[in-house]
C-alpha cells in the first residue's frame, strides 16, 4: 500500500491528494535505504571499534584460556623434566656405573624432529608460546625415550651381572709397573706430523718390545691381523657391547675364536704399523664407538691414582698417524 500525501487547498478549503510520480518515489526510497545502510555501517564500525561484539568477546576469551592452558602445560612439562633429569642423574651416576657402562647419549638412538616441523606455526600470533611448548614436549619425549632404552639395557645387564663383571674391560692391558713415559691420551688431538685435528681412538702406553699384553676382560678373540695403521693387532669381543683392541704388537699369541680370560696374555708389545716407538695402542669400543680406556682401569687402581693418570696423560703420541 502506497503512503498518500496531502496538500491543503486554500481555494476549496480541502486537502487534495498529491500523487508523486513513480520515479520520484523510487529515488526517495532508495536514498532512504542508502542513508540507513551507511548509518548502520558507521554505528557498527564504531561499536566494534570501541566494544567487542559477542563473537569477538568469545574468541578473545578462548584465546586467553588457550594462553593460560599453554602456560600451565609448560609448567607441568618443566616439573616432569625436572623429575626426568633426576632419574637420568641416578641412571647415569648410580645404576649405569654399577654395571660399569658409559653414559648413554641421545645421538643415534633418537632422530630429532626436523626444524620444518614448526614452520606452520611461525606465522601465528602466539608463535613463540606454541613453538616453545611443542619443542619442549618433543625434547621431553626424546629424553623419556632415551631413559627407557637405558633402563632396558640395565635390565638386560642385571640378568647376567656376574658374567658381565668378568667381561667388561677393567684392568691395565700391560703391567703398569712396566709403563715407560707418559700416557698418550684418548680423544681429539692436533696431529704431530699432519698438523690437523684428529681423533685418537685409544690410549698409548709406552713399553719395551716383548712386554706382555693382557686381555682386559673375558671374551672371544674376534680378529688377529696385520693392518696398515695398527700394525699387528688383536681385537677381542667381550659381549655386552664391548670390544678391545691391542695394536702395534710385536707378536700375537692367540687365535681368532679363542676364548680368553681377564689377565690372560694375548700378545707382546711392539712397534709395528705406523708407530714411532715401542708402545701399546689400546682401545675400548662400546656399542661401536671408542670410549676412553682410562675409565676402565678401575680394578687396578684407586680413584686417586686414576685422577693422577688422567692429569698426566698428554697429547704426545707414539704414532705417526
For binding to Zn ion (CB under 5 A), which residues are involved? 204, 281, 319
Q: Specify the residue, 187 or 210, whose C-beta has the smaller distance to Zn ion.
A: 187
CA torsion sign for 154, 297, 187, 212 is negative
Residue 306 C-beta: closest distance to Zn ion, Å: 19
Sort strands 212-214 and 265-268 into parallel, antiparallel or unpaired. antiparallel
Residue 113 C-beta: closest distance to Zn ion, Å: 38
Residue 101 C-beta: closest distance to Zn ion, Å: 23
Q: Count other C-beta atoms under 10 Å from residue 244's C-beta.
A: 25
Q: What is the dihedral of CA 105, 108, 114, 118, to 10 degrees?
A: -30
Task: Give the C-alpha separation, 23 to 29, whole Å.
Answer: 10
Q: Specify the residue, 258 or 276, whose C-beta has the smaller distance to Zn ion.
A: 276
Residue 301 C-beta: closest distance to Zn ion, Å: 20
Q: Specify the residue, 238 or 281, whose C-beta has the smaller distance to Zn ion.
A: 281
Q: Specify the residue, 96 or 245, whose C-beta has the smaller distance to Zn ion.
A: 245
Q: Which residues pair with 49 in a beta bridge?
A: none
Residues with Cβ < 8 Å from 170, sequence gap 6 or more? 100, 216, 217, 262, 296, 297, 298, 299, 300
Q: Specify the residue, 91 or 319, whose C-beta has the smaller distance to Zn ion.
A: 319
Residue 318 C-beta: closest distance to Zn ion, Å: 7
CA torsion sign for 57, 62, 67, 68 is positive
Secondary structure (DSSP) of 119-154: GGGTTSTTHHHHHHHHHHHHHHHHHHHHHHHHHHHH
Are 85 and 144 in contact by the 8 Å Cβ rule? The answer is no
Nearest to 278 by CA among 234, 228, 318: 318
Are 297 and 309 in contact by the 8 Å Cβ rule? The answer is yes
Q: Specify the residue, 146 or 285, whose C-beta has the smaller distance to Zn ion.
A: 285
Q: Which residue's Cβ lies closest to Zn ion?
A: 281
Residue 262 C-beta: closest distance to Zn ion, Å: 22
Longest dimension (CA), the chain: 148
Residue 275 C-beta: closest distance to Zn ion, Å: 8
Residue 119 C-beta: closest distance to Zn ion, Å: 46
Q: Specify the residue, 143 or 281, whose C-beta has the smaller distance to Zn ion.
A: 281
Are 276 and 298 in contact by the 8 Å Cβ rule? The answer is no
Amino acid at each position: 500500500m502506497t503512503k498518500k500525501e496531502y496538500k491543503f487547498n486554500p481555494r476549496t478549503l480541502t486537502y487534495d491528494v498529491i500523487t508523486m510520480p513513480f520515479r520520484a518515489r523510487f529515488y526517495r526510497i532508495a536514498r532512504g535505504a542508502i542513508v540507513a545502510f551507511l548509518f548502520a555501517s558507521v554505528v557498527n564500525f564504531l561499536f566494534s571499534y570501541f566494544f567487542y561484539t559477542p563473537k569477538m568477546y568469545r574468541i578473545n576469551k578462548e584465546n586467553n584460556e588457550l594462553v593460560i592452558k599453554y602456560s600451565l602445560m609448560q609448567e607441568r612439562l618443566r616439573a616432569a623434566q625436572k623429575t626426568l633429569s633426576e632419574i637420568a642423574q641416578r641412571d647415569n651416576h648410580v645404576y649405569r656405573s654399577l654395571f660399569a657402562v658409559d653414559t648413554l647419549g641421545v645421538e643415534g638412538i633418537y632422530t630429532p624432529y626436523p626444524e620444518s616441523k614448526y614452520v606452520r606455526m611461525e606465522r601465528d600470533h602466539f608463535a613463540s608460546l606454541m613453538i616453545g611448548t611443542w619443542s619442549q614436549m618433543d625434547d621431553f619425549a626424546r629424553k623419556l625415550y632415551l631413559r627407557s632404552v637405558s633402563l632396558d639395557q640395565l635390565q638386560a645387564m642385571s640378568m647376567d651381572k656376574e658374567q658381565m663383571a668378568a667381561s667388561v674391560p677393567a684392568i691395565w692391558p700391560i703391567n703398569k709397573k712396566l709403563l715407560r713415559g707418559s700416557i698418550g691420551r684418548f680423544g681429539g688431538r692436533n696431529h704431530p706430523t699432519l698438523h690437523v685435528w684428529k681423533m685418537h681412538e685409544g690410549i698409548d702406553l709406552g713399553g719395551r718390545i716383548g712386554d706382555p699384553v693382557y686381555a682386559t676382560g673375558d671374551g672371544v678373540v674376534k680378529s688377529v691381523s696385520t693392518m696398515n695403521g695398527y700394525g699387528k693387532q688383536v681385537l677381542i669381543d667381550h659381549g655386552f657391547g664391548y670390544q678391545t683392541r691391542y695394536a702395534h704388537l710385536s707378536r700375537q699369541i692367540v687365535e681368532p675364536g679363542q676364548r680368553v680370560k681377564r689377565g690372560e696374555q694375548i700378545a707382546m708389545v711392539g712397534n709395528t704399523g705406523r708407530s714411532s716407538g715401542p708402545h701399546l695402542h689400546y682401545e675400548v669400543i662400546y656399542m661401536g664407538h671408542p670410549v676412553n680406556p682410562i675409565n676402565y682401569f678401575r680394578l687396578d687402581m684407586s680413584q686417586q691414582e686414576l685422577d693422577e693418570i688422567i692429569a698426566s696423560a698428554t697429547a704426545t703420541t707414539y704414532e705417526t698417524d
